[in-house]
Amino acid sequence: MNKYKERRERLYKKLANDSALILFSGSEIKKSADAFYDFEVNRNFFYLTGIKQEGSILFVTKIRSKIKETILTSPYDAHKEIWTGRRLKPSSATEICGIENYKSTDEFDTLLKTLEGKVTTIYLDQEPGILTHTGMLTTRFALQIGGIPETKVENVYPLIVRMRMVKDEVEIQLIRDSIALTGKALSHALTKIKPGAYEYEIAAAFEYKIKKAHGKLGFSTIAATGDNAVILHYPNLGSKLEPGQLLLLDLGGHNNMYTADISRTIPVSGKFTPLQVTVYEIVLACNKAVINFIRPGKTIMDLQNYTREFLKDRLVKAKLMDPSEDISNYYYHGVSHHLGLDTHDPSDRALPLEKGNVITVEPGLYFAKHGIGVRIEDNILITEKGAENLSISIPKEIKEIIS
C-alpha cells in the first residue's frame, strides 16, 4: 500500500465521527522585492501525502465512519510555469499521495461550504506559523471557519506528532541514508581543516558534498573554532582557524527529506593540548554512557539528568569544577531531541522512549575562558531492548581524529 495512505488511515481512526480534516502544505514566504525563500513544506502535510508543492491541500471528511479524501493543488498556470518551473500535474499529485479524488485549489471554498450541517468537528494543524494556500495563518483560518454553525475546531497537530515520533522501516532507512551522506560530506570537510583556513571554508567543503548529491542542509552548518564553540547555534562562521584550537562542527544534510544531525570536535593542528584531551575524553565517555543507558521506557528527561550527573562527576574528579558549582555553567543544553523530517523533530517529551524513536545524543562541555567547546553528537534508534547508534561509523575516537 502507498505509505502515505497507510499513515492517513491510521490517523483517521483517531478522528471523531462527523468530522473534517483540512491540512495545508503552506505558502512561499517573501524574502525581499519579488524574491521568495526556498519553499519548505509543512512536514505534517508531507508526512501524510508525500507532496512538497506549496499551495496544496488535503481535504478529508469522516461522516458516519465513511472516509472521503480529496487532494487539491494550485491550478495549472502555463505562464507561471515558464517563469518559476514545472508544477505537479493532477495525475502526479494523485499518484504520489494515493488519493484518486483531485480538485484544484480554486474549488476549495466550494468544498468548504459542503461541510455546513454535515460535520461537528474540523481538524486543523494549528502549529503557529503554518500558512494556508492563500498565505493566511492557519490559526487565523481556524477563527474564520469557527464561524460555521454547530462546529468546533480541533488541533490535529498532537495526533500527527505522536505518529511521527515512531519511525517506520522506510523512514529508518531514509535516516540511515542521510547519516551516510552526512558522514561522507563530513570526512571531505575534515581534509580542509588546518591552521589558517576559515570556518566558512570548512562549512563550504561539507555543503559541496551535500549539494553534489542533489541534497539539502537539514539546518545551517555550524563550524566554530576556539571560544566561538561556546555559542550553541553559532551563526557567523568568519573566524580563522588558529594552531592549537579545537573546531566544533555541528551539521547535517539529506536528499530525502529526513535529516541527519551530527557533531564532531576536531583539533585544528591535528593534536590536542592536555586540557583539551581531558575535556574531550569526558564528553566522549559521556556520549557512550548515555547511548548505553538508553532503554525503551526512559524519558529524554532521564537521559538529561543522567548526562548532567555524569559530566559533573567527571569534571569534579578532573578538578575542572568545584562540587558546589552548577554543571549548567559548563553544559547548558539538552542531551537529546527527536530527529526525522525536522532536525528538532516535534515530540511529546513527556512520553517515554519506545522502539522506532530516533533521537540525538549530544553531550557537550564549554569553557569560554579556555577557548574550548566540545560536543559529540550521534543519532540513535531506539530498539526493543536498547539503542542502535546509527552514526557509529562516523569517527569520534581520539586516535581517529588526530594526525
Among 74, 138, 276, 360, binds Mn ion (CB under 5 A): 360
Nearer to Mn ion, 132 or 391 (CB): 391
The amino acid present at 35, given as its one-letter code, is A
Residue range at the interface with Mn ion (CB under 5 A); choices 35-43, 144-152, 237-245, 254-262: 254-262
Site for Mn ion in 67-126 (CB under 5 A): none
Cell of 89: 500535474
Least separation in angstroms between CB 379 and Mn ion: 9
What is the chain's percent helix, strand, coil content, to nearest 5? 35, 20, 45
Number of H helices, E strands in the chain: 12, 18
As measured in angstroms, the least distance from the Cβ of 49 to Mn ion is 27
Q: Of residues 154, 199, 227, 261, which one binds Mn ion by CB under 5 A?
A: 261
Number of residues that bind Mn ion (CB under 5 A): 2
Alpha helices in 270-368 (DSSP H): 274-293, 300-317
Could you tell me whether strands 372-375 and 121-124 are parallel, antiparallel, or unpaired per DSSP bridges?
unpaired
* Stretch near Mn ion under the rule CB under 5 A, chosen from 145-153, 203-211, 260-268, 285-293: 260-268
CB of 392: closest distance to Mn ion in angstroms? Answer: 17
- Select from 53, 48, 97, 52 the least CA-distant residue to 75: 53
Nearer to Mn ion, 207 or 261 (CB): 261
Choose among 376, 364, 381, 378: nearest CA to 294.
Answer: 381
198 conformational bin, left if phi > 0, alpha if psi -120 to 50, beta if neither: beta
CB of 239 or CB of 360, closer to Mn ion: 360
Nearest distance from C-beta of residue 252 to Mn ion, angstroms = 8
Dihedrals phi, psi of 313, to nearest 5 degrees: -55, -45
159 or 335: CB nearest Mn ion: 335
Give the residue with the Cβ less far from Mn ion, 49 or 336.
336
In the complex, least distance from residue 360 CB atom to Mn ion, rounded to whole angstroms: 4
Q: Using the rule CB under 5 A, is 378 a contact of Mn ion?
A: no
Strand intervals (E) in 206-261:
216-217, 222-225, 246-251, 253-254
CB of 18 to Mn ion, least distance (A): 42
**Which residue, 125 or 261, has its beta carbon nearer to Mn ion?**
261
Which residues sit at the interface with Mn ion, rule CB under 5 A?
261, 360
